[in-house]
Structure 1
Amino acid sequence: MNAKSLLVATTLVLFTAVGWGAESESDLAPDSTWKAGAAKIAITPDEPMWMAGYASRTHPADGKLTELWAKALVLEDQEGNRGVVLTLDLVGIDRALSQSICDALKQQHGLQRKQIVICTSHTHSGPVVGLNLAPLHHGLLTDPQRKAIDDWVAAFQDQVIALVGEAIGKLAPSDVTWGSGTATFAVNRRENPEAAVPQRRTEGQLQGPSDHDVPVLAVREANGNLTAVLFGYACHATTLSGYQWSGDYPGYAQMNLEEQHPGCVALFFAGCGADQNPLPRRTVELAQHYGRRLADAVETVLLTSEMHPVQGSLRTSYAEIDLPFDELPTREEIELNSRSENRYEVARAKMLLEQIDGGAPLLPTYPYPVSAWAVGDGPLLTTLGGEVVVDYALRLKSELTGVQTWVAGYANDVMAYVPSRRVLGEGGYEGGGAMVYYGLPTSWGPSIEKDIVQEVHRQVESLSIHDADVPTRSR
C-alpha cells in the first residue's frame, strides 16, 4: 500500500472507532469515487436434472439442500468506467455459453468483453451446464434429459442478462474497501492422502503448497450498511457428493454472510484450487462447518482487520491466447480409443471423431481466456480459465503485489485442468489425466505456465500504462 492509502485507511479506522462515520448520503457522496450495485437470483432447477462433477452418479438430482444462485456486482468509477463480476453456483461453463452471455450483455447493456468477469464456484452439487464436462455424461443422458438441460441453460442465460440489468439499476454512491483474511481448511490433495489428513493436520505435517488467503472486497452505502461483499478461496467445492442441489461450502459461506448482514449480496469466486480439497469431507455438517469458517474469515476482515479504502479508477483488460497442446493424436489413435474399455475415453473419442468428420480438424492450440482488472489502487484481480492449480496464485502474488493480487480460476471458460509446469511434469489427474473428462484431445504443452504468466504480466503492464493508480511491484 502506498503512503497516501495507508493514511486514508488509518484515518477511517480512527473515525469509525469514535463514531465519526458518515451520517447521510450527503456526507458520503461528494467524496465517493465509486458507484456500485448488486443483485441476485435463484437458478436452482425446478426438475430433477442430471448433476455435474462426479462420474459416479447414476441418476438425476432428487432434492435440494440449498438454492443455487447467480449474483452480479457492478462497479463504476467516477469517470464512468464500469465492470461486472458475475458469480455462479455452477461447476463451470463452456466457451460457447460464456460468449453467448457476453454477446447478450454487450447488446443489451453496452458492456465490452473486457468489462465482464464470469466466475463459477465449481460446486459439484449443481446441474450439468451445456457442453461442460460433456464426456462425463455422454451416453448416460436420455433425449428428454438432454432437452431439460438445454431448456434450463436457455432460461438461465436470460436470468443472468436480466440480473446484470437489475444490478446496473441499483448503482449508487458507495464506499469500496478491500482486505485479506485467512482460512485453513483447504488441503493439497496431491500431497496428502485423505485418510492421513486429520493426523497430519494435528501434527502440523500437511504437505504441498496451498493458498489460504481470503480476499475481501466490501461495498457500503452512505449509511455504512454493507450492500455487497465479494470474496474468494482456493479450494474445490467437493465436500458433498450426493444427489441434492447445493452450493457446497461456498454456498453456506454466502448464506452466513447474508444472514449476518441483511440486504447484503455475498458473492464468491473460486481461487486456484484445482489441487486443493476441503478435508475431511462428505457430510452436510462439514460443508456447513467449512462455510462458517470461510464466512468467519470474511467477517474478521470486515470487523476487526484494517480495511483499505479503494481510490482511483477502474481499468479492465481481456484476451484469449493460443495455448498449445502437446502432440495431437492421429485419427488411428482416436479410433483405437473409441474401442477402449474406459467409457470416458470412448465418449471423448466419439466426440473428436464427430468433430473431424464434420469438417473441423483438431487444432494445436486452445483460445485460453485471461483477464486483469485494476480496481483503483486496491485489488489487482486476475481471472484465469479452467481448473487452475495453486502454483499460479502463489507465483503471481510473489511477482506482483502479494495479497493485493487476487487470482480467480474457474472463470469465463472452464475447459480443462490447468497445471503448472511442475504439476504437468509430475503427471497424475491434474497433470493430464483429467483431460479426457473435458473432451480435449491431449495434454497441454510444456510452455503452459510460461504462456499464461506472461499474458498476465502483459495485461497488468498495459493497465499500468493507462492508469498510475495500478499497484505495481518490480520483478
Structure 2
Amino acid sequence: MPFSMSVKTLDYTPSWPTYPSLWMGGYCGAPRGNQGVTDRRLRAQCVVIDDGAGPKVMLRVDVVSIPRYVHQAIRTAVLSLVGNDNGRFLIICSHTHSGPMIGTTRPSPYVMMDLTAADISAIEGTTTVFINQMIALVQQTVAMARTPVTLWYKEGNATIGYNRAEEPNVLTTISALIARRTSDNGLHTVLFGYACHAVSRGNDRIFCSDWPGAATDVISNALGVQALFFQGAAGDQEPNDPHSPSMATSLGTTLGNAVVSMVNSGGWNAVNGPVSTFYNEIQIPLSVDFGDPAAVIRARNSYNDRLDTFPPDDFAYRHAEVMIEQIHGDGLPKVFPMPIQRWNLGGLNILAMSHEVLSQYEVTLQSQTPGWLWIMAYANETEGYVAANGVLQAGEAKHFGYEAGWTDEDQLSGPGSWTTFYAWPAPLKFSPSGAAGPGTTERLVLDACTAMLNL
C-alpha cells in the first residue's frame, strides 16, 4: 500500500521566563538546575505515517522521562487526530539526563533533590508549557501536507557501551527505517534506534541532548534530511567511560556515522502496508500486597524506623516521609501500570514498552520472534525500571540493587535504588529463586508482549 509522511522538528530547549523552572532531571543528588547554558539543543520531533487509512503518529523528545499524568494529558489532547485509537499514537523519550525535569510525581523532585514547595510548583509550570508544546507539535505535523514515500528497513551494529548491571547482554543493534520520496526516490527521513543510557556527557548543569543528539546531527548534516532517534531497552546499558562532553560527541559520531554508512549502502528491505496498531496496559504487582492491612502496618513501621535511622538530608529519609504520607492519605500504590504498544508495518514489528526496560527483554523477545523486530523502550511514560527475574532476584548483589529496586529487604524500597527516587514503596514482584513464575514481572511482561506480537 502507498505511504505518505510528514515530519516536523521543534527546538524546545527551555529558557526562563517562558519555562518557570529550569530544574534538571536525570541525576539524584544535590539540587541541579540549568542557568541558561546549552551545549546541544533539545529536540521534540513528530512523524506522521499514513497508509491511506489515516495517520499514525510518533512523537519523540529529548527528555529524561515523562510521568504517567503527563503522558495521559498529551494523549488525551491528540487522540482525536488519530481516530481516537490509542494504538495510533506513540511517544518515545531519548532519556537524556541533561534536560529539564518534567512532572512532579515520578520521579519525585522532593525525594531526589529536596526541592521546596515553590520549586516543585515551578516544575509544574514548566510541565504545563511542555505539555502544550508537545500537543501543538502533534497538531501541526498532522495538519501538514504529506509527501508520498516508500519505506525501507535495515539493521546494523555499533558498540558504544557496556552492561552496568553485571549482566551478559550488551545491545549493539542499530534499527533504521528510511523514507524515500516516491517522486524521485530521494531520501526524505531517517528513523533510527539504539539502546544505551543517554548519560555520556556526565552530571553538570548544561542542557544537552547527549549522544543521541550528536548522532542525529551527524546523520542530518551528512544526508540533508531530518533524523529521529528512538531509545531502546537501555535500562542496564551504560555508555563507555569516562563520561564527559567530548564523550557524548565521540559516541554520537560513532553511531551517526554507522547510520550514514547503512543509508549509503545496499541491503534495505521494503516495508509495505497496511499499518496495524495495538495498545495494551498491564498491571504489574509489587512484591508486597498493599491491599492487605497487615502489610501496610508492616510498611509503616519499617518506614518509621528509617526516619529514626537516616538523617533528614538523606534520600531514604525523604522517601520514608513520602511513603508515610501516602499511608495516611490515599494509600500506597498496589500495582505498577505498564503500557505496551505494537505497530506492524508489513512484516516490521515495532514493539514499544514503557519505563526503563532492561536488555534481557530485548534478548528474549528477539530470540522468539521471527522477522524484523524493533524494540523501543521509554515509551509513553517512564515511572521506573522493569528488570527481568534474575536482576530482581539478585537485589543489591548486582549494581547495588539499583535496577532491582531493593537492597537488604525485598519487601521494601531500597535506599538509593530506583524505587526510592521514583517514589514506590516496594520493588516489583519476582520469583525469589528459579525461573519467573506466574504473576511475576518477567512473566507478565513477556506474556503480554508475545500476545501482542501474535495479534
Q: Secondary structure at the match of 2:234?
A: coil
Alignment pair present for 1:449 and 2:418: no
Match of 1:434 in 2: 418
Amino acid across the alignment from 1:35: S
Unaligned stretches of 5+ in structure 2?
A: 291-295, 396-400, 406-416, 431-439
**For 1:380 and 1:369, how far apart are their aligned partners in 2?**
17
Amino acid across the alignment from 2:318: A
- State the Cα deviation string for residues 64-113 of structure 1 (Å, max 9, x = none): 101111111111113x1432111110001011100110000024564422
Please point out which of 2, 21, 24 is paired with 1:51.
24
Please point out which of 65, 81, 86 is paired with 2:59.
86
Match of 2:434 in 1: none
Match of 2:220 in 1: 258
Match of 1:347 in 2: 318
**For 1:281 and 1:414, how far apart are their aligned partners in 2?**
26
Amino acid across the alignment from 1:355: Q
1:109-188 alignment, distance < 5 Å: 110-130=83-103, 131-134=105-108, 140-168=114-142, 169-188=144-163
Please point out which of 26, 33, 49 is paired with 1:75.
49
Q: 1:419 offset after TM fit, Å?
A: 0.6
**For 1:155 and 1:110, how far apart are their aligned partners in 2?**
25
1:248-397 alignment, distance < 5 Å: 248-262=210-224, 264-327=225-288, 328=290, 330-341=299-310, 343-358=314-329, 360-377=330-347, 379-397=348-366
Q: Evaluate the alpha carbon distance shift between residue 147 and residue 423 of structure 1 in structure 2; reply closer, same or farther with a 3 A threshold.
A: same
Q: 1:139 offset after TM fit, Å?
A: 5.8
Unaligned stretches of 5+ in structure 1?
A: 1-31, 192-206, 463-475
**Number of equivalent positions:** 411
Q: Decide whether the 8 Å contact of 2:55 with 2:82 is kept in 1.
A: no
Q: Decide whether the 8 Å contact of 2:29 with 2:113 is kept in 1.
A: no
Amino acid across the alignment from 1:275: D
1:169-248 alignment, distance < 5 Å: 169-191=144-166, 208-221=168-181, 222-240=183-201, 241-248=203-210
**For 1:411 and 1:254, how far apart are their aligned partners in 2?**
19
| TM-score, length-scaled by structure 2 | 0.86
| TM-score, length-scaled by structure 1 | 0.82
Q: Evaluate the alpha carbon distance shift between residue 76 and residue 251 of structure 1 in structure 2; reply closer, same or farther with a 3 A threshold.
A: same
Q: 1:151 offset after TM fit, Å?
A: 2.0
CA-based RMSD of the aligned residues comes to: 1.9
Q: Evaluate the alpha carbon distance shift between residue 115 and residue 339 of structure 1 in structure 2; reply closer, same or farther with a 3 A threshold.
A: farther
**For 1:216 and 1:139, how far apart are their aligned partners in 2?**
37
Q: Evaluate the alpha carbon distance shift between residue 57 and residue 121 of structure 1 in structure 2; reply closer, same or farther with a 3 A threshold.
A: farther
Q: Secondary structure at the match of 1:242?
A: coil
**For 1:179 and 1:405, how far apart are their aligned partners in 2?**
11
- State the Cα deviation string for residues 192-234 of structure 1 (Å, max 9, x = none): xxxxxxxxxxxxxxx7211100000111223333322111111
- State the Cα deviation string for residues 225-250 of structure 1 (Å, max 9, x = none): 33221111111011122110000000
Q: Which is worse superposed, 335-344 or 297-306?
A: 335-344
Please point out which of 353, 375, 379 is paired with 1:411.
379
Please point out which of 73, 76, 89 is paired with 1:100.
73
Runs of 4+ in 1 over 6 A off after TM superposition: none
